[in-house]
A = this chain, B = another copy of it.
């Protein structure tokens, strides 16, 4: 790759500046929000409970996660002593050595050999094969030189090993992992805190007669925007700074960065999802269904836990999750960009995604600040959508201008504009919009599916469940078709219009180019992450604001109406943005698949394996029985995860039901003269969330390791394929089935089929309760789960292929024995997750018996 020219260097620093600007914007908004009034004494009291609950969750969560993070930082640091640095790292840290190593490669001989062994290949394709073969040979030579295993042909002595590469990569991997984890945690926790800070202020503004709708909307939306800007600011900052420091040696650090972010996101999703739904199901089943109390009634012991849950699940979990998607798409974009940069010897493939991301952040800053309402009616949704679409138009326009002026390289595409990446990015933006439409079609009250579920409520809960399940499954089909179509578009763009050299001869093979295109589609999908997260967080903030006002007894009158209307808008914005995170998971995963192959190839070539026998040469042949085994287990793992998550919510809700029922028996509580013990319910949700983290984390991290070392790197590829397919299908199925049930209930509450408290309404309450862990726990947790597994696979793949070659006979038995031990650990984790806790079991039984005796 040629050096960055001055314009490119400037561009990269401008992108870094935009990332910082995004963060400063978030700080600016924070100070704005914190200046707003916190409302009446009573409101602040209620809010105090929520804040305490949220902080308790936060600290207990961090304590568990911190241990694992420290362990993994150490493991990643020392991993370089087992997995050697890549040739790119050696080139970056020991450029002279790399140059000398490259000089030892006899390019002419390689070209001749390729020509001889491919007699039937067309001339243009042959050139491509030859040039690739030369590049691979150079990489192998550099890698061996870096290890001190290459002989200097002039002196006859071995080149001195490049220790700088090893040390720097160790620091890079561990440091970037730590940064990814910390950023993800920050996004989640700051986002949650700002949501907590925001909700009481939204409530205060809404009930303040001098302020009202416009102010409440602004505060709610901007509180969400803080999280939004943190998400893309930190994501862009991390990716850019890694590239600035490590240059072509970035992939290692980028993988670490991605892994840190996804792992934290998995924890936040799992923890938040269990917390929020345990509280919600518990509060609803006992409070609303059994005791007939309204939503957010202060006599319900689980009500504070429920409000805290909205913040930890829908804000912290969601933000960390989208951060992770944002991060992984840039990670895969940069890694695949670097691969293209090596072949074409031009850095435009890396500069492009970074600048595109920068433009997206810029558009988000401008458009989110302009979101405001002047009236008091239903224009909130219109204002938010206007913000979103104007940002989309602005971004595309800037992308196009940037492409026309920058995306040229004398030696590429015959000197013409390199427009293909732009096309893929635009596909991504369109994909995001279509997926939002598909999600809306299947889950909002305006369309056939939800109406059909409501109609089925006339024949009871069973038909509600069945039609909801059918709707969820169908929505998954169309989502996957749309995703397949967008992958196809990259295939079409980069196969029909390949990247050529100055003479119009193709110089990037279709495989690499198409994967780069897919990565750019992922970049495009998440262009407007700032807006998306703002819209997403708007939901729980306005939901909570209503709760605060309700609990403070100030939900009457105009203020109450304003809050109700904001809540309705929040439900819509939250729903429509949901599909994007999951869709991007598949796109990112497909792109990472490419890295999996190219990464393994580099290591295998360095180990002296001929190209045709590397994983890149053989491909991940799904018809091979051993690959198929990995593939089956991958799909199974998704079902295992879903099952464990649903069970854990069920189990936690069961405990919560026991607590709420017992509290209702305490004299004075149902009469409203005594405050229930909110903290007990909060701690039950916290504990429930906590105890699942380690088992599920262990399963997600260890399973790919066992598959890789137990069945080989090709089976690990099959395993990933299984994870992606089943993960996408189940995630969309569960999320949308849950969303559809939720809205079918709302549709009936609007007065259809008998309205509230009718039999059909009760049937939809059952649907909604089933949908809760579907849409807020299991479904969304699969998104980070897919990528944790992908990234762990990418991280262990080099070690797996090294072991295959260098470890023999008895060593293999040792590896096998370790894998059996790890399998036992996985099984233990599964059974630990499934285990019920006999003490609470007895407590709940006792309360239930007492209830039956009443």
| Contacting pair A770 B465 (CB below 8 A) | yes
- A769-801 vs B, CB cutoff 8 Å, 1 = contact: the mask equals 110010000000000000000000000000000
A46 at the binding interface (Cβ < 8 Å): no
For the complex, give the distance between the alpha carbons of A334 and B477 in Å: 35
For the complex, give the distance between the alpha carbons of A625 and B586 in Å: 12
| Contacting pair A474 B623 (CB below 8 A) | no
CB distance from A483 to the nearest CB of B (A): 6
For the complex, give the distance between the alpha carbons of A480 and B632 in Å: 6
A364 at the binding interface (Cβ < 8 Å): no
CB distance from A333 to the nearest CB of B (A): 15
Residues of A441-494 contacting chain B, CB below 8 A: 456, 458-463, 465-467, 469-471, 473-474, 476-477, 480-481, 483-484, 487-488, 490-491
Given contacts A458-B848, A459-B285, contact A633 B481 (CB under 8 A): yes
Count chain B CB atoms within 10 A of each CB in A462, A467, A624, A769 and give the residue with the most: A462
Which residues in B have their C-beta under 8 angstroms from that of A114? none
For the complex, give the distance between the alpha carbons of A514 and B626 in Å: 10
| Contacting pair A622 B625 (CB below 8 A) | no
* Further 19 A-B residue pairs, CB within 8 A, beyond A596-B623, A726-B726: A458-B848, A459-B654, A469-B643, A470-B646, A477-B643, A480-B635, A481-B633, A481-B636, A488-B629, A511-B625, A518-B625, A593-B622, A593-B623, A622-B627, A622-B717, A623-B721, A635-B728, A726-B729, A766-B766
A810 at the binding interface (Cβ < 8 Å): no
For the complex, give the distance between the alpha carbons of A654 and B464 in Å: 12
A640 at the binding interface (Cβ < 8 Å): yes
For the complex, give the distance between the alpha carbons of A644 and B597 in Å: 38
Complex: chain B residue closest to A490, CB-CB: B625
Some 13 contacts from A to B, beta carbons below 8 A apart, are A120-B610, A466-B773, A470-B650, A473-B646, A476-B636, A518-B625, A618-B619, A620-B622, A621-B622, A622-B717, A722-B725, A726-B726, A726-B729
| Contacting pair A461 B623 (CB below 8 A) | no
Given contacts A628-B487, A766-B766, contact A657 B459 (CB under 8 A): yes
For the complex, give the distance between the alpha carbons of A491 and B711 in Å: 11
| Contacting pair A725 B642 (CB below 8 A) | no
| Contacting pair B625 A514 (CB below 8 A) | yes
A233 at the binding interface (Cβ < 8 Å): no
CB distance from A287 to the nearest CB of B (A): 13
| Contacting pair B639 A484 (CB below 8 A) | no
| Contacting pair A726 B635 (CB below 8 A) | yes
Given contacts A467-B650, A511-B624, A622-B620, contact A632 B473 (CB under 8 A): no
For the complex, give the distance between the alpha carbons of A593 and B481 in Å: 24
For the complex, give the distance between the alpha carbons of A642 and B470 in Å: 7
| Contacting pair A639 B481 (CB below 8 A) | no
A117 at the binding interface (Cβ < 8 Å): yes
For the complex, give the distance between the alpha carbons of A590 and B466 in Å: 32
Which residues in B have their C-beta under 8 angstroms from that of A650? 456, 463, 466-467, 470
Which of B473, B484, B647, B721 is close to A629, meaning CB atoms less than 8 Å apart? B484
Which residues in B have their C-beta under 8 angstroms from that of A718? 622
| Contacting pair A632 B460 (CB below 8 A) | no
A202 at the binding interface (Cβ < 8 Å): no
CB distance from A630 to the nearest CB of B (A): 8
Residues of A556-596 contacting chain B, CB below 8 A: 586, 590, 593-594, 596
| Contacting pair A639 B476 (CB below 8 A) | yes
Which residues in B have their C-beta under 8 angstroms from that of A632? 480-481, 483-484, 487, 586, 725, 728
CB distance from A236 to the nearest CB of B (A): 26
Complex: chain B residue closest to A635, CB-CB: B725
Which residues in B have their C-beta under 8 angstroms from that of A459? 285, 653-654, 657
Complex: chain B residue closest to A633, CB-CB: B484
CB distance from A118 to the nearest CB of B (A): 9
List of 6 A-B pairs having minimum Cβ-Cβ separation, nearest first? A619-B621, A462-B769, A473-B643, A480-B636, A474-B643, A470-B646
Which of B618, B644, B654, B733 is close to A639, meaning CB atoms less than 8 Å apart? B733
For the complex, give the distance between the alpha carbons of A635 and B638 in Å: 14
For the complex, give the distance between the alpha carbons of A117 and B597 in Å: 24
A289 at the binding interface (Cβ < 8 Å): yes
Given contacts A465-B766, A650-B470, contact A721 B491 (CB under 8 A): no
For the complex, give the distance between the alpha carbons of A477 and B473 in Å: 19
Given contacts A473-B639, A476-B639, contact A625 B491 (CB under 8 A): yes
For the complex, give the distance between the alpha carbons of A766 and B468 in Å: 14
A339 at the binding interface (Cβ < 8 Å): no
A631 at the binding interface (Cβ < 8 Å): yes
A649 at the binding interface (Cβ < 8 Å): yes
Complex: chain B residue closest to A834, CB-CB: B474
CB distance from A247 to the nearest CB of B (A): 27
Which residues in B have their C-beta under 8 angstroms from that of A491? 625-626, 629
For the complex, give the distance between the alpha carbons of A484 and B634 in Å: 11
Complex: chain B residue closest to A615, CB-CB: B623
Which residues in B have their C-beta under 8 angstroms from that of A636? 476-477, 480-481, 484, 729
A206 at the binding interface (Cβ < 8 Å): no
For the complex, give the distance between the alpha carbons of A628 and B622 in Å: 11
Residues of A287-309 contacting chain B, CB below 8 A: 289
A90 at the binding interface (Cβ < 8 Å): no
Complex: chain B residue closest to A610, CB-CB: B120
| Contacting pair A473 B285 (CB below 8 A) | no
Which residues in B have their C-beta under 8 angstroms from that of A722? 725
A515 at the binding interface (Cβ < 8 Å): yes
| Contacting pair A625 B487 (CB below 8 A) | yes
- A277-290 vs B, CB cutoff 8 Å, 1 = contact: the mask equals 00001000100010
For the complex, give the distance between the alpha carbons of A733 and B626 in Å: 24
Which residues in B have their C-beta under 8 angstroms from that of A484? 629, 632-633, 636
Given contacts A477-B639, A481-B636, contact A622 B624 (CB under 8 A): no
Which residues in B have their C-beta under 8 angstroms from that of A628? 487, 590, 593, 721
Complex: chain B residue closest to A463, CB-CB: B650
- A709-747 vs B, CB cutoff 8 Å, 1 = contact: the mask equals 000000001100110011011000100000000000000
Complex: chain B residue closest to A721, CB-CB: B622
CB distance from A418 to the nearest CB of B (A): 20
Which residues in B have their C-beta under 8 angstroms from that of A769? 460, 462-463, 466
Which of B466, B490, B515, B657 is close to A646, meaning CB atoms less than 8 Å apart? B466
Which residues in B have their C-beta under 8 angstroms from that of A728? 632, 635
For the complex, give the distance between the alpha carbons of A465 and B620 in Å: 38
CB distance from A616 to the nearest CB of B (A): 9
Which residues in B have their C-beta under 8 angstroms from that of A456? 650, 654
Which residues in B have their C-beta under 8 angstroms from that of A476? 636, 639
- A643-683 vs B, CB cutoff 8 Å, 1 = contact: the mask equals 11011011001100100000000000000000000000000
For the complex, give the distance between the alpha carbons of A250 and B624 in Å: 24
Residues of A362-386 contacting chain B, CB below 8 A: none
For the complex, give the distance between the alpha carbons of A836 and B483 in Å: 29
CB distance from A199 to the nearest CB of B (A): 28
Which residues in B have their C-beta under 8 angstroms from that of A120? 610
Complex: chain B residue closest to A458, CB-CB: B848
CB distance from A260 to the nearest CB of B (A): 25
Given contacts A621-B621, A625-B590, A626-B491, contact A649 B725 (CB under 8 A): no
Which residues in B have their C-beta under 8 angstroms from that of A474? 639-640, 643-644
Which residues in B have their C-beta under 8 angstroms from that of A477? 636-637, 639-640, 643
| Contacting pair A463 B654 (CB below 8 A) | yes
Which residues in B have their C-beta under 8 angstroms from that of A487? 625, 628-629, 632
| Contacting pair A717 B480 (CB below 8 A) | no
CB distance from A423 to the nearest CB of B (A): 15
For the complex, give the distance between the alpha carbons of A322 and B490 in Å: 43
CB distance from A628 to the nearest CB of B (A): 6
Which residues in B have their C-beta under 8 angstroms from that of A466? 646, 649-650, 769-770, 773
